[in-house]
Every structure is written in structure tokens, then in C-alpha cells.
Amino acid sequence: MDEKLNDKIIPEGKVELIFRNVKTGIEDRYLVNNLVTSAGKASMADGLRGTTASNKGIITYCALGTDLTAPEVTDTVLGAEIFRKLVSVRSVSGNVALFETFFSIEEANGELKEAGLFGDSATSTADSGTLFCHLAISRTKTSSDTLTLRWSVSIG
């Protein structure tokens, strides 16, 4: 048997993006595959083994950006972060961690091309902390839109 013990446990995820026009009430929903970064995987493993320094393995912020570069597992920051907000809701269902963040009509307006989840020592400062998840999107958010991102990260 050539397999390594750690080859079987791979975190993966999906993100539901919900754009809602507050003037018309129309919702656009997208389901996008979510890339879990190498740094995110390492932080999760560190958290599982009991490391508590820098809140290891704890996701706290959702960020949006404008860079067109395709996400890679080696990414440590978004390509061009424009807005960051604390995750509003964190929960667990079985082996799936769920994260939800709501952006109001005043927040993160523009040509959105990427999103990410940050944690560990993340703060409200762009590019701070560990990038756990990174995804490409292609949508303009205007001051008529709210945006909800619902992330799921499954272990297994």
C-alpha cells in the first residue's frame, strides 16, 4: 500500500452567493466550488492538535476582492482585497463547518472577482491572518444590492 495516512482527509467546500436587489426584491443565487488553501489546511491541522496561539484553525473574516487571477492552493492573500468583514454566523452540521457573512448596500460595491475566508491572527486589516478558502467570482455589486456569502467546508 503506497498511500500515506494523510492522503484521505481533504477539506473541500462550496459557497452560495446571494445577491438581492433591495429595489426590485430580485435575488440572484450562485453556487461556486471553494478552494481550501494549503495554509488553511495546515492551520486546521494545528488547531486539531491543540495549538491555541493566534486562534489557530478559527475562521473569523470574510473578504472580497477584484483580482482576476485564478485561485491556487498556494495563495496566502487575495489578489486585490477591497473589503473585509467579520463572519456573522458560524455553525457545524456533522462534518461540515458553515460560515455566513452579510454585506449591506453600502459595503463592497464594485466589480467583485474573488472572495476568501481568513482566520488565525486575522484582523480588520486587509491581507492579515491566514487565508483558509479562496474562490473566483464574477459579479458587480451595486448600492442597490445586498450580498450574503454562505460557505461550507467539509472534512472528509
Domain boundaries, the chain: 12-155
Q: What is the pLDDT averaged over residues 111-131?
A: 96
Q: Say if CB 43 and CB 119 are below 8 A apart.
A: yes
Number of H helices, E strands in the chain: 1, 9
Q: Decide if 132 contacts 78 (C-beta within 8 A).
A: no
9 versus 148: the higher-pLDDT residue is: 148
What would the mean pLDDT of 32-39 be, rounded to a whole number? 91
Residue 3: pLDDT band with limits 50, 70, 90: low
Half-sphere exposure of 77 (CA within 13 A, CB side): 13
Q: Is residue 43 within a helix (H) or strand (E), and if so which, with residue range?
A: helix 38-48
From the number of C-beta atoms within 10 Å of its C-beta (0-12, 13-18, 19+), residue 147 rates as: buried
State the average pLDDT over residues 95-105.
96
User: What is the pLDDT, as a whole number, of residue 4?
Assistant: 59
pLDDT the model gives residue 2: 53
Kindly tell me the sign of the dihedral angle through the C-alpha atoms of 98, 137, 21, 142: positive
> Model pTM?
0.90
- The residues, any chain, with a CB within 8 Å of residue 4's CB and separated by 6 or more, are none
Instruction: Give residue-wise pLDDT tens across range 4-31.
Output: 555 556 788 899 999 999 999 999 999 9
Q: What is the pLDDT of residue 145?
A: 98
Give residue 119's pLDDT: 95
pLDDT in tens, 54-66: 788 899 999 999 9
